[in-house]
Every structure is written in structure tokens, then in C-alpha cells.
């Protein structure tokens, strides 16, 4: 079983245990306090950074001394297989994003294999659709973490829905959307739920999601909303 917790913005904590000898805590995209959110206490064995923006790359927030992955490639750490896949922060490689300097328009998609499941974190993906090469590398996904807040920072709710249809995950967890105290202007998660054809009142936010291969949906995609 894997325990998935959302810490706000694009920051996730995934705790997996392949066996007694292969337990790992994976942290993805820790943010700094400039965005208005309190930085949580994070302890990890593996730290994944999708791109070098302050709301995703607070390496110092993770203790004690994680193995840091910052880009494309294949890695194995404590029985966990990680693949980084190159992508773009937007259709113009990030050059038009607010307060983004030229040369920071790349984004890394990560897939994580553990517990006979595959997790995928899209970072600040800005492409309106994935390429066939990216889809081949991503493969079959059990749990997808996808940005939905739009507003020029990443894909919109409708574009996110289309990306979900490309990947066809069993579970999709939205991220990078409007929440209390966040200083970055983003769309609310309700826009994504509507795009996915979900009744917003029927999707009850959870504190964490426990993923087990044996209990994954057999068909279709289930939307899970987590509390930060």
C-alpha cells in the first residue's frame, strides 16, 4: 500500500513499502513561504524537483538528507524506480509566464514505480497535449497528479481533462489550484471537477489517499480530491 498526502500547491508526500527492507518516503516539489502557505515538516528519502521555481524547489525544507532528482533520466532508490521525462512549462517553453526568466521553461514529468503500481506527477505541465513519445514513456498509470489551476501558470481545467483522457489513469488527483492563503492566482478545483463531469458536492476531499493495486478501479478514472 502507498499513502499519498498533498501538502499544497504541487507538493506531495508518498510513503511506500515494497518490503521490510525497502521502505521509502518520496517528496515532490516542496514550496517556500513566499507563496503564502506554511511550509510543512517534510522528511524524505527521495526528493523530486520538477522545475526550478520557488513554489516547487525548496530543497532545504526536506530533511534529513534525501536523494535529490532534478531532471530527466532513470533512477532506482531504495527499491523505488523513478523516471524523469522532459516536458515544457507552457507552449512557449515558459517564456511568457509571469515573473519567469528565460531559460526556465522546462518541466520534468516523473513516474514512480513501487508496490506494483505506477504513480505520475506532471509538475507544472503547460503543454496542451502530450506527445506520443511522452505517452510511451509514461505508460500505464495507476495514480496521476495533475495541475489544474491555469491562469497562465500551467494547464487549465479543460486542458487537464484532455491530458487525463490521453493518459487514462485509474485515479486522478488534482493539484496546483486555488486554496486559502495562497498568494498565486489560480482557478478553483471545482472547474476541473466540472470539466471531468463530476458533481462537486459528491467529491468529498480526503486527508490522504491509500493506494492499493488490488483496490484500483477496474475501468474508468476516479477523481480524488485531497486536503492540503
Largest CA distance in the chain: 47
pLDDT at 171: 97
pTM of the model: 0.92
pLDDT at 139: 97
The answer to whether 35 and 184 have CB atoms below 8 angstroms apart is yes
The answer to whether 107 and 92 have CB atoms below 8 angstroms apart is no
Strand 2-8's sheet: what is its strand order? Answer: 67-69, 46-48, 23-28, 11-17, 2-8, 209-211
* Mean pLDDT for all residues in the chain: 90
Buried b (16+ CB within 10 A) or exposed e, 144-182: bbbbbbbeebbbbbebbbebbeebebbbbbbbbbbbeeb
Regions in the chain scoring below 50 on pLDDT: 93-94, 98-104
Q: Cite the beta strand spans of the chain per DSSP E.
A: 2-8, 11-17, 23-28, 42-43, 46-48, 62-63, 67-69, 73-77, 80-88, 106-114, 117-121, 143-147, 171-175, 209-211, 222-223
The third-level CATH classification (topology) of the domain covering 2-223 is Metallo-beta-lactamase; Chain A (3.60.15)
Structure confidence by residue, pLDDT tens digits, 60-75:
999 999 999 999 999 9
pLDDT at 98: 47
Amino acid at each position: 500500500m502507498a499513502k499519498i498526502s498533498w501538502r499544497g500547491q504541487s507538493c506531495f508526500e508518498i510513503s511506500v513499502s515494497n518490503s521490510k527492507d525497502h521502505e521509502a518516503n518520496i517528496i515532490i516539489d516542496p514550496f517556500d513561504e513566499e507563496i503564502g502557505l506554511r511550509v510543512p515538516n517534510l522528511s524524505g528519502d527521495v526528493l523530486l524537483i520538477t522545475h526550478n521555481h520557488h513554489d516547487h524547489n525548496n530543497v532545504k525544507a526536506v530533511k534529513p538528507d534525501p536523494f535529490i532528482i532534478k531532471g530527466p533520466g532513470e533512477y532506482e532508490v531504495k527499491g523505488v524506480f523513478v523516471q524523469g521525462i522532459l516536458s515544457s512549462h507552457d507552449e512557449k517553453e515558459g517564456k511568457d509566464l509571469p515573473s519567469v526568466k528565460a531559460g526556465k521553461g522546462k518541466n520534468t514529468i516523473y513516474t514512480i514505480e513501487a508496490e506494483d503500481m505506477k504513480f505520475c506527477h506532471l509538475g507544472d505541465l503547460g503543454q496542451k497535449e502530450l506527445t506520443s513519445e511522452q505517452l510511451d514513456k509514461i505508460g500505464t498509470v495507476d495514480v496521476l497528479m495533475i495541475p489544474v489551476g491555469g491562469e497562465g501558470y500551467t494547464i487549465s481545467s479543460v486542458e487537464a481533462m484532455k491530458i487525463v483522457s490521453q493518459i487514462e489513469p485509474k485515479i486522478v488527483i488534482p493539484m496546483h489550484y486555488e486554496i486559502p492563503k495562497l498568494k498565486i492566482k489560480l482557478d478553483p478545483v471545482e472547474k476541473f471537477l466540472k470539466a471531468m463531469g463530476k458533481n462537486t458536492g459528491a467529491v468529498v476531499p480526503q486527508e490522504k489517499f491509500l493506494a492499493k493495486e488490488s483496490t484500483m478501479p477496474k475501468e474508468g478514472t476516479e477523481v480524488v480530491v485531497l486536503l492540503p
